[in-house]
Structure 1
């Protein structure tokens, strides 16, 4: 058995299997770990070991590193999956594993990153900003504490909504670090892959360094990511516009168009964000842009890293103004054609298992920092890190893949 082992918290999880394959793991995950549930519904993982002796008993993973790949499941709640993560990590350490990392592209509980006593948070500004969390836990910190108690040394995720906040939480919970000197929290920046896709997709007019391209941040929280994608794309003659939103309720959002919205007129525009659940914010952005006489872009494309294709999201993203919706498979159910429904005609999924395997190798095995690997110099090679999945119903399915551009970076 290799010294670096990839396992999952669900049997035959497609994402974990893809990561293992891309990592050149020759042994099937099901031949490394058995995931059984007793008749009373208690979960019990078991790392499989042949030829147990007195010397090897309890030391079957001695000196090895275990990487638990965890993603959203249609059959198990996130609470159930989290408990499975704890038990698998504990089993690994109790059987001699030197290092355990949780690889969770869409990090559980990270949106619940403050409680009523939280003070060190960018959104905690006054009493009212704390009052709304009265009676609630800071679930992100609780999750970090339980992972550490279970034996997890490091957590690796993708495009976290508030990476600086998460980093503080995980460093607070695990101040002593680990023997590998690997940070307790690693956030992978997906911007180089998105810049690469925009350049190679043929969706937008790229000539003269993107003079017909516009980038839109749907709110202030997305602005940093949007700026980075634009910078990495090398489309320096493109424009960037940031909107502000007002939330009147959980599903009631209005968008305030900025004065520079006129810059988007006649352009091919990309709206970029980290997540979509109901699609309400994005639907408001798309309608505001398309229906404004000051704007009227030529084409509208929307990208979101983490996509939950809920019934509301299907309805909202089915806007006649939206040309294509691009996302990754950090939430693997997005690949299900039945879940996609009507969106099959306009959804493109970037499968990132190869990139995750690459990050495991460089960041968790070789202790390199993500920012040192995935930056401006990685954009031109990033098409090796993902595969494009789309339905035959999508008009892009029959489009020529001939690259019709020159990279300008």
Structure 2
């Protein structure tokens, strides 16, 4: 058993809001790392207390290079000051869609290389939330324990709370169809997948959605929304196929560029997602649910919290 007073919860700057919510669920104070900026751009970090012999939990999304480096510095710093165990939760893994290189492309599979950087900092345990591909879990060498946390339970719960009638779950491509099928099985509703082709690095075309959506509420589910192009096209194809209404679920709400405006221009007024991506909050477009209870349960089991 691990006593609450032996646990210290930290985060990189990007994930502080989520870390505070997780700490609240565990009834353990959040500890903010001291951070200062030097004139030349270098960054100073310091732990505000002695961490030797403590069980450390670090919450850290890696959506940009600065956040990744800060997470690595925190892990390494915990090792330097002899923490007993270092446990890391990565709510959002940057470059997760680049988990492999295309044949003969000479591409760097940054989903793998970035994950290796985290593992090489020598944490004891790393958990990721709703990975695009579990291939990155095999990027490490050594004794790092890993876990893939899925938000399926929270999504099913949220859909049930909406009390929708006559619904069908829709995957925006066949790559996510197995995951969507599992959600549909838990809800005891039908499911289908859109036909999607990629014609450029970040450009896709959705050609059609099966007529099973006719007269139904189409609930489009994906692991992330970046620019929103595929989701918008899938919603359009659902309407063309006779869907009465479209609702969008996605775990990671990146919403890059002008994606918010694009959604509104295409009549999409509500997107439901998690609080995994830094800086995203509920507003007139976004309806967020928190992964904090889910992560807290994982940590309680992993740490055998008394």
TM over 0.5: yes
> Against the structure 1 CA distance between its residues 36 and 2, is the aligned structure 2 distance closer, same or farther, given a 3 Å change threshold?
farther
For the residues of structure 2 that align with 1:100 and 1:86, how far apart are their CA atoms? 12
Q: Which residue of 2 aligns with 1:160?
A: 131
For the residues of structure 2 that align with 1:281 and 1:11, how far apart are their CA atoms? 27
Q: Which residue of 1 aligns with 2:159?
A: 198
1:287-302 alignment runs, 5 A limit: 287-291=236-240, 295-302=241-248
For the residues of structure 2 that align with 1:307 and 1:286, how far apart are their CA atoms? 17
Q: Does the residue aligned with 2:13 lie in a helix, a strand or coil?
A: coil
Question: Whose Rg is larger?
Answer: 1
> Against the structure 1 CA distance between its residues 146 and 12, is the aligned structure 2 distance closer, same or farther, given a 3 Å change threshold?
closer
Q: Which residue of 1 aligns with 2:179?
A: 225
Structure 2 segments unaligned to the other structure (5+ residues):
none
Q: Which residue of 1 aligns with 2:262?
A: 316
Q: Which residue of 1 aligns with 2:205?
A: 254
Q: Which residue of 2 aligns with 1:42?
A: 42
Whether the 8 Å contact between 1:214 and 1:239 is mirrored in structure 2 is yes
Shift of 1:320: 4.7
Q: Does the residue aligned with 1:256 lie in a helix, a strand or coil?
A: strand
Shift of 1:138: 2.8
TM-score of the two chains, using structure 1 as the length reference: 0.68
Shift of 1:25: 1.1
Instruction: Indicate the structure with greater strand content.
Output: 2
Whether the 8 Å contact between 1:8 and 1:70 is mirrored in structure 2 is yes
Whether the 8 Å contact between 2:15 and 2:59 is mirrored in structure 1 is no
Structure 1 segments unaligned to the other structure (5+ residues):
50-59, 116-128, 206-211, 338-343, 368-409
Q: Does the residue aligned with 2:5 lie in a helix, a strand or coil?
A: coil
1:169 aligns with 2:139: yes
Whether the 8 Å contact between 1:100 and 1:153 is mirrored in structure 2 is yes
Q: Which residue of 2 aligns with 1:65?
A: 55
Q: Does the residue aligned with 1:160 lie in a helix, a strand or coil?
A: coil
Whether the 8 Å contact between 1:218 and 1:244 is mirrored in structure 2 is yes
How many residue pairs end up in the alignment? 302
Shift of 1:290: 0.9
TM-score of the two chains, using structure 2 as the length reference: 0.90
> Against the structure 1 CA distance between its residues 65 and 307, is the aligned structure 2 distance closer, same or farther, given a 3 Å change threshold?
same
Q: Does the residue aligned with 2:23 lie in a helix, a strand or coil?
A: helix
> Against the structure 1 CA distance between its residues 310 and 138, is the aligned structure 2 distance closer, same or farther, given a 3 Å change threshold?
closer
Q: Which residue of 2 aligns with 1:21?
A: 24
Q: Which of 357, 379, 384 is equivalent to 2:296?
A: 357
